[in-house]
Every structure is written in C-alpha cells, then in structure tokens.
Amino acid sequence: MKKKVVLVYPGLAIQSGTFLQTPFSLLTIAPYLIKEGFEVVLVDTRLHHYRTILRQVIDENTLFVGITSMTGSQIVSAIEVSKYIKTISKVPVVWGGIHSTLLPDQVIREPFVDYVLAGEGEINIGPFAHSISENKPPENINGVYFKRKGEVAATPQQGFFDLSKSLIPAWDLIDNDQYNNIGLQTGRGCPYPCTYCYNIEFNQQRWRTKPLELIFEEIHYLMNRFRLDSLFFYDDNFFTNKKRVEDICRFLIDNKYQVKWYTTCRADYFTRYGKDFFKLVRESGCETLALGLESGSQRILDQIKKMEKIEDYINMARITSEVGIVPECGFMIGIPGETDEDRRMTFDLMDRLIKINPKAYVTSLAIYTPYPGAPLIKTIERDYNFKMPQHLSDWCTFDFHSCNLAWLNKKEKKRLVTMSYVPRFVFWKQKLKERYITGPLLPFYYVMTFLAGLRWKNRFFSLSFEYSLLQKFLRLRQNLNLKKIMRFARTAKARRSVACTERRAA
Ligand code: B12
C-alpha cells in the first residue's frame, strides 16, 4: 500500500463569485510527492467538509498532513483544521507556504504544528516525506523547522528551486469544474524593489523563468486537457523579459489557441515596450491586465520605490485603450508619510485614466496593510514603533483596522475607510450590483451610489455615517460567512465531498 500525504487548502474568508481560485500552491507541490511514489489527497475546505473527509482520508498509511498558508484570513481555518487533526490523529501537521516561510518561528511554536517546511515545496517536500516514511529525523533536509526538547530547531535555509526541473501541477487532484483561474506559473519573483511587497524577502528580488519549451508544453497540456476559454498566469511579474513574452504570444497565435489570458503587469512596461508589443499581446488573447498603480503622487511612488512615473500610467491608459486591453487598476492609500494632497493626486489620476480609457477599471483603493516580508515593515517599526503580530493567531484578525498604524489618528483612519469604499460605488458599481446586491439591498445600493457620486465629485469623505453602517453590515456578514464556512466545514453530511473522494478513489 502506497504511503499517503494529505494536502489541505484552508478556506479564505473572501469567496468572490461562484467559482473558486484553484488551490494552485498545493497543485504545484503535489507532483514532487507523486514522483517519489507517494499517494496524494488534496482537501479544499472551501468545497469539502474537512471534519468528514479528514476522518476518511487520514489512516495508518498517512505520513503527514501538509497545510498551505497565506497571510490573512486563511490562517483562521488553517489553525482550525490543524487543531482538529490533533483531536483525531497523531499524524504530523506540516505547515508551508508564504506566511509560514516568512514567519516560521511563530508558526512552529504552536502546539498544533509539528513541522514547518519553508520555501519552495518542490525542493523539500519529497525528501521530507521519505524521512517521515523511514522514521528518520529531517536534519539533512533544508528549510525544515521542528521542535526538539521543547526548543525550536531549524535546518539551513534552502535555495531556490531550479524552474527548469518544473513538473506540471497535479490537476487530477481536483474537480476542475469547481474552479476558475485555471492557469500556469511561467516564472517567479520580480526584479523590482517595491517596499510594501513580500517579493524582496520571499524571492530575494530575483526573477526566474521556466524554459520556454516547458511553458509551451504546459500550455499544450492545459489547452488539450481542459479546452479552456481563459488562462491565468500566476506569475509575480510575467512581463519581466520582453522577448519571452513575445515568444509566448507567438506560440499562442501560431497554435491558434483562442484563449482569453490575463495576469498582472507593471505600467512602466507600456513606456518601455511600446504599443506594437501590446498589440501582439492583445492579438494573442490577452483581454485584461491587473496593475498595481498604488498612488497618483510621484513623491509617494518614489518613496515606496515603485520605479514608475505618472507618465507611465498615462501611457498605459492610452495604449490599452488603443489596443483594446482592459486595465484593472489597484490603488493604495494610508502609506506612512502620505498627505491629503497625495491622496487628492491619486483620486485625480483615477478620473484621468478613466477619461483616457473608459474601459479601464478601478478595482480597489486598498488601505495599506503591513504584510510580513515587506521592507516597509522595518521602516514603520523604526519610525512609528509598529509592532508586528508576535503570535500566529494574532494574524487571524490582522487587517488595517486591527493593527496599530501610529501614523494615522482615529479620525484619519475613519476617513481612509470612507475613501477606500467610495470608489467602489463610483467605479465598480455595476460589478458590485451583479456580485453582491440582491432585492432588499437595492434601495440601499442606490442611495450609496448616489451619495458616493457626490462625495467623489466633491472629494468629501468626512461625516460618513453611511459607511459606518456599511462596515457594521459587512463585518457582521464576514463573521457570519466565516461562521458559515466553519459550520459548513464541520457539518457531517456533505454529499459532494464524499462523492468527490469516492470518485477519486474509484
Ligand atoms: C492567486 C493569488 C491570490 C488569489 C488566490 C490566493 C491563493 N493562494 O489561493 C486571491 C485573489 C484569492 C488572492 C487574495 C489575496 N492575496 Co494574493 N496572490 C495570488 C498570487 C498572484 C499567486 C498565488 C500562487 O498561487 N502562487 C503560486 C504558488 C505556486 O506559489 P506559493 O503559493 O508561494 O507556493 C509555493 C511555496 O509557498 C510553497 N508552498 C505553498 N504552500 C505550501 C504547503 C506546504 C505543505 C509546503 C511544504 C510548501 C508550500 O511551495 C509552493 C511551490 O514553490 C500571489 C503572488 C504570487 N505570484 O505568488 C499573491 C499573494 C499570495 N497574495 C497576497 C495578498 C496580500 C493577498 C490579499 C491579502 C490581498 C488583499 N489585501 O486582499 C488577498 C488575501 C485574501 C485573504 N487573506 O484571505 C500576497 C501574500 C503575502 C503574504 N504575506 O501572504 C501575494 C504574495 C502578493 C504580493 N505580491 O504580496 N491572492
């Protein structure tokens, strides 16, 4: 009987749309267990009742349960699942993923975590499974954190995975009909120094790519296996190398793959690569690009080392309008040192971009939240005495509201919340209505969009009674949602999950 590893994708509180994001991180590491002769079962707690299914799949052949972790609400269910496993089995609980890699000490200290495998799982998960299977301590495997005589012990940090040895993710492990964002990762990391991003620490600001032949092979596999009409590139920075993107675009065109593809992109590439390049990108099927523009103030862009000019944003809006790509633009406010004037520049830029490209889409005006691994954390710890959460469970409720951002007083925080909501009712109102507004909420929706239009036009964000109301409603709903997810995960009779497992076992 093959030894088995159970991989768990903990639910995110935010479940947008009907389909779910694929548990891509786990699909990516599973082949490195399968090639070593281990059986892998993937449990997605957004789809499966984790209590029911874990009791079914964890047996004497199970070596360990691997859990992925991203900073934010995913930590909530990851802790819940880990604690539950401890009540039904002695099997080791192993955490991995971005959050565990950035803060391994905090994670390994928890009694419900036995090991942390830090870094890219392709390297250490196979050897780790063998060490558990042969009952050998994992001392010779890099990137492993464990407890020895109550003390935290760790092996040396592992290097980067050689992407030329990449295997195609294990898409067989999931029921793809349940997911959107089927796609591939053609490269990792980003050469840019943006101070609010995890990339500096997680990828050492290095960009790496898979060899083109592997990328082509993986696209062939996905297109023939799923007959996709849309393809997502999970890269941190897909456009780092111009020639590589041109080769991928020509490959899609030459193979007549009529697929809409999308990914993230930086605006300065529009200035550097020019219109003809993005014409090719459009012809190859790219319909949408997500851009983190962050601010309309050059001073703030320079401060966060975004390495972009406002002029790049104008070029981006112009070129996307001319070649027919929809830019989804994300902005951020509340960055330390930001003034009301900087924020005004951001609002003006949002209006200006929509004028240049009416199809442009302002997705969010997020409020800066210090995520681990970002250099800016060191700055705010030094200059604003910011205290990063010291325990894993503190990250469960970690968001803009809960963390002490000393450079913002209470009144300013309230205004920022209003500023972050208003654009959604101005620029996102159609999607908002389609996604979230049902019958009883309609009158409230019309009042909110009317008031938002007035507020936005007059840049007036104080006395925001309607947003305090909205926030209370959303918090209530999120807690209910989280409760629902957990109740859903807890309740026993889950046909779909049992059916799924039986189908896979068949
Ligand atoms: C797709 C995506 C999303 C999707 C789905 C996320 C998901 N994981 O399912 C959605 C849209 C839901 C999303 C939401 C958010 N995201 Co996002 N997202 C991404 C993106 C673009 C790809 C993630 C991915 O699949 N990468 C590819 C896989 C292969 O990489 P990986 O997850 O790191 O996995 C590798 C290792 O970590 C490890 N590993 C992973 N899991 C495990 C488990 C075990 C057991 C082991 C051994 C190893 C292991 O091995 C894998 C292979 O090497 C990344 C950027 C990026 N390119 O990574 C941002 C990213 C993960 N997101 C980020 C953030 C901040 C968010 C949001 C909080 C943004 C926001 N403010 O709302 C929300 C979070 C929602 C929440 N908290 O609940 C940050 C996370 C930073 C952090 N400290 O965790 C990232 C890194 C972006 C960035 N540049 O900062 N995101």
SS (H, E, C) 194-259: CCCCCHHHHCCCCCEECCHHHHHHHHHHHHHHHCCCEEEECCCCCCCCHHHHHHHHHHHHHCCCCC
Q: How far apart are CA 364 and CA 375, in angstroms?
A: 23
For the chain, helix, strand, coil in percent to 5 are 50, 15, 35
**Spans of all domains in the chain:** 4-154, 181-428
442 contacts: CB under 8 Å, gap ≥ 6: none
Please give the distance, rounded to the nearest whole angstrom, from the Cα atom of residue 438 to the centre of ligand 1. 30
181-428 CATH: 3.20.20.70
What atom in ligand 1 is closest to the CA of residue 74? 78
* Tokens matching residue 215: 């990328």
Q: In sequence order, which residues have a C-beta less than 8 Å from that of residue 149 and are 6 or more positions away?
A: none
pLDDT tens for residues 65-95? 999 999 988 999 999 999 999 999 999 999 9
pLDDT digits (tens, 9 = 90+) for 410-466: 889 889 989 998 998 998 888 888 877 778 788 888 898 999 999 999 999 988 888
pLDDT of amino acid 487: 61
Residue nearest to atom 62 of ligand 1 (CA): 70
Residue pointed to by tokens 């790509």:
325
Residue 395 predicted with pLDDT over 70 = yes
Per-residue pLDDT tens over the stretch 152-171: 999 999 999 999 999 999 99
Helix (H) or strand (E) holding 122: helix 121-133
The model's pLDDT over 324-341, given as tens digits with 9 standing for 90+, comes to: 999 999 999 999 999 999
Question: 4-154 falls under which CATH superfamily?
Answer: Response regulator (3.40.50.2300)
Strand partners, 290: 264, 328
Q: What strands lie across the sheet with 260-264, from one edge to the other?
A: 183-184, 230-233, 260-264, 286-294, 326-333, 361-367
Collapsing DSSP to helix, strand or coil, 450 comes out as: helix
Q: Is the CB of 127 under 6 A from ligand 1?
A: no
Specify the pTM.
Answer: 0.91
DSSP type of residue 66: E
Distance from Cα 24 to the centre of ligand 1, integer Å: 9
Confidence of residue 505 (pLDDT cuts 50, 70, 90): very low
- Short-list 388, 393, 389, CA closest to 378: 388
**C-beta 331 within 6 A of ligand 1:** no
Any atom of ligand 1 within 6 Å of the Cβ of 379: no
Beta strand pairing call for 260-264 and 286-294 = parallel
Give 379's pLDDT tier (boundaries 50, 70, 90): very high
Q: pLDDT (tens digit, 9 = 90+) per residue, 240-294?
A: 999 999 999 999 999 999 899 999 999 999 999 999 999 999 999 999 999 999 9
Question: Angle between the 50-57 and 74-88 helix axes, to the nearest 10 degrees?
Answer: 40
Q: Does residue 12's CB lie within 6 angstroms of at least one atom of ligand 1?
A: yes
Q: Locate the ligand 1 atom nearest the alpha carbon of residue 373 and give its number.
A: 83
Residue positions counted in the chain: 506
